[in-house]
Structure 1
Amino acid sequence: MNQTLLTVDNLGKSYKDKQIVKDISFSVKKGMITAILGPNGAGKSTTIRSMMGIMQPDEGDVQYQGHPKQGVPHQKVGYLPEERGLYKNVKIMDIILYFADLKDYPKKKAKARALEYLKKFGLEGKDKVSVEELSKGMAQKAQFIASIIHEPELLILDEPFSGLDPVSQDVFKREIRELADNGTAILLSSHQMNLIEEIADDLLLIHKGKTVIQGSMEEVKEQYSNYKCTIVGENEASLFENLPSVQSVEQDGNRTVLYLEKDVHLPTWVTHMPQASIIQEMTIDRISLHEIFVGIATEKDLMKSGGGANHA
């Protein structure tokens, strides 16, 4: 059982008369990746900033394991904010060492780690280059290195994949997973479901400032990711609407998607496919985290309750 490092209870934050975050509760464990997901404006960054003390929450408790005071001890935490920003005319190595110094991390050790990470991230030989000479993706890598240079117990990443090309996204994913496997507790926010689906252990999906789904990746998949069957061919949607275990049918051109009931027995179900159907391609898989996300964001019911995850 992984040890809980951070606990957030009933966090709430309002701006003027509008409540941005309400009753958000979750925990972050050592060696695990917890993801806060939601559409833009859902309250992800407000949750993180309130938790970090960057803004003062109106209500709720934030408790870091072994820390006597409320809130997060900044020496033990690495933070990559959504709004990236490094001093443009300062050399990369100087910036990284500056962040290490802020955390009271030994300079010699920080420099060795920085050179190692620059090489790992394809920035070898760039240590004396100023930030303004870097591409956006390279600057983001440098800021990521600065956030982990002091070997934080807890790493908080707000939209870490934003603006990265697919190759750099893969580099970040591998590094985030490796950090977690080595014991770092990681909390990240993102709206890029496909990337989160590959690396997250626990999920908190928020919409309009409230928790709508919470649980481990396995629980969420088990509870909400019903099967779907995608058929490519010139068919009428009505051909499939009365098939057993079909909840709904969606059609886009020659692509028909059948959303199936949770307890469908697939080998038996396939035998009911109409003889008149035209099938050029057919795939059966679970609905993705992205589809769950879109279903919540558009308040469209693609899911049926049941299982271990919490649905608020």
Structure 2
Amino acid sequence: MEILEIRNLNKSYGNQKALNNISLTIPKGGIFGLLGPNGAGKTTLIRIINQIIEGDSGEVYFNGEILQPKHISQIGYLPEERGLYKKMKVWDQLVYFARLKDMPAALAKERVAFWLKKMDISSWRDKRIDDLSKGMAQKVQFISTIIHEPELLILDEPFSGFDPLNAEIIKNEIIELKNKGITVVLSTHRMESVELLCDQIAMIHRSNKILEGRLTAVKQMFRPNTYEVILSGINETLPESWNASQVNGNTIFKIPLGQESPNSTLQMLMQYGELLGFREILPTMEEIFIQQIKNHSYE
């Protein structure tokens, strides 16, 4: 079942089209990657879901109902432009944000204490936000987003400002939230994060949706039908077009299958020596992202 369904959504700013007839379905309990270059329309879409702005036409459904103000408390949003009160102390800030989500005061304090301990930042509770480093403030912002354990969590560039160690901590927290049944929408330019985290993706470019599907299916869609081959004990001269190289005493090269089947190709390769490896090469999300943006930039 889907937690969010977007039907034929349009939004313009004057003569500038930000979203053009966008339709998306986001299933419950997974991590959905919302991809696209700067200016594609992702932030506009996220703001409409968060009811910060309204679309010009189209519909957004949350758990099967037309999106309404009552749903705000069930959504957590981490914007790319972080928004903390710099003069407030960490504890007061987090309790305040929890209370904004209709959380009772006692439960808010309990949750704040839990998350400060979980993120190993209990010693920061009496520090003002403007006394924190950027990375420290990012942790506080992340906690403020998830403190009420929303059904839908929207993260816009959640790894921005983090060093590799803290980025790993946030990544693990996102996975843990998913395992609890929270649906995560991840908007990011870091394709390695998409590879690691996302179950499904959609790509927006120039206000249009250009790609959508399960991550595994998308990668299969753009598979080049090329395999990496590892041979040892070569007993025949290999074709020059294979551009073979030697690594640790073995011969490694890539071979396109064309119309040939993997089985027939395996039989052919075994004539050249002992076959140690035969692995299909799938494109990375970064390669797919770059190619799709290029392909749709000239339409």
What is the match of residue 90 of structure 1? 88
Query: Contact 2:9–2:21 (CA<8 Å) still a contact in 1?
Result: yes
Deviation, 1:228, is 4.9
CA distance 1:228–1:67, shift in 2 (3 Å): same
CA distance 1:259–1:38, shift in 2 (3 Å): farther
Deviation, 1:70, is 4.5
Counterpart selection for 1:287 from 283, 286, 293: 283
Report the AA paired with residue 108 of structure 2: A
Q: Distance in 1 between matches of 2:94 and 2:78?
A: 13
Query: Contact 1:4–1:28 (CA<8 Å) still a contact in 2?
Result: yes
Report the AA paired with residue 21 of structure 2: D
Query: Contact 2:50–2:75 (CA<8 Å) still a contact in 1?
Result: no
Which structure 2 residue ranges, 5 or more long, are not aligned? 230-238, 244-252, 273-277
What is the match of residue 265 of structure 1? 262
Check if 1:55 corresponds to 2:65. Answer: no
Alignment deviations for residues 123-167 of structure 1 (CA, whole Å, 9 cap, x no partner): 231111111111111111111100111121111111112222222
CA distance 1:68–1:75, shift in 2 (3 Å): same
Give the secondary-structure state (helix, strand or coil) at the position aligned to 1:214: strand
CA distance 1:227–1:40, shift in 2 (3 Å): farther
Deviation, 1:188, is 1.8
Report the AA paired with residue 32 of structure 1: G
Q: Distance in 1 between matches of 2:260 and 2:286?
A: 22
Give the secondary-structure state (helix, strand or coil) at the position aligned to 1:212: strand
What is the match of residue 26 of structure 1? 24
CA distance 1:259–1:39, shift in 2 (3 Å): farther
What is the match of residue 110 of structure 2? 112
Counterpart selection for 1:79 from 64, 74, 77: 77
What is the match of residue 245 of structure 1? none
Check if 1:172 corresponds to 2:132. Answer: no
Deviation, 1:225, is 3.6
Give the secondary-structure state (helix, strand or coil) at the position aligned to 1:128: coil
Which structure 1 residue ranges, 5 or more long, are not aligned? 232-237, 243-255, 276-281, 302-312
Q: Distance in 1 between matches of 2:150 and 2:296?
A: 40
Q: Distance in 2 between matches of 1:125 and 1:105?
A: 24
* Aligned-residue identity in percent: 39
Report the AA paired with residue 297 of structure 1: I
Query: Contact 1:33–1:202 (CA<8 Å) still a contact in 2?
Result: yes
Deviation, 1:209, is 1.5
Query: Contact 1:92–1:131 (CA<8 Å) still a contact in 2?
Result: yes
Q: Distance in 2 between matches of 1:84 and 1:171?
A: 19
Q: Distance in 2 between matches of 1:205 and 1:269?
A: 36
Give the secondary-structure state (helix, strand or coil) at the position aligned to 2:102: coil
Deviation, 1:107, is 2.1
Counterpart selection for 2:295 from 292, 296, 299: 299
Q: How does 1:177-188 map onto structure 2 within 5 Å?
A: 177-188=175-186
Q: Distance in 1 between matches of 2:138 and 2:209?
A: 29
Give the secondary-structure state (helix, strand or coil) at the position aligned to 1:13: strand
- Pairs aligned (count): 276
Give the greater-gyration-radius structure (CA). Answer: 2
Counterpart selection for 1:203 from 201, 204, 208: 201
What is the match of residue 240 of structure 1? 241
Deviation, 1:49, is 0.9
RMSD (Å), alpha carbons = 3.2
Greater helix content: 2
Q: Distance in 2 between matches of 1:262 and 1:189?
A: 38
Report the AA paired with residue 101 of structure 2: K
TM-score, normalised relative to structure 1 = 0.78
Counterpart selection for 1:190 from 169, 178, 188: 188
Q: Distance in 1 between matches of 2:93 and 2:115?
A: 14
Deviation, 1:46, is 1.2
CA distance 1:162–1:198, shift in 2 (3 Å): same
CA distance 1:201–1:283, shift in 2 (3 Å): closer
Query: Contact 1:63–1:72 (CA<8 Å) still a contact in 2?
Result: no
Alignment deviations for residues 19-38 of structure 1 (CA, whole Å, 9 cap, x no partner): 12112111223211111111
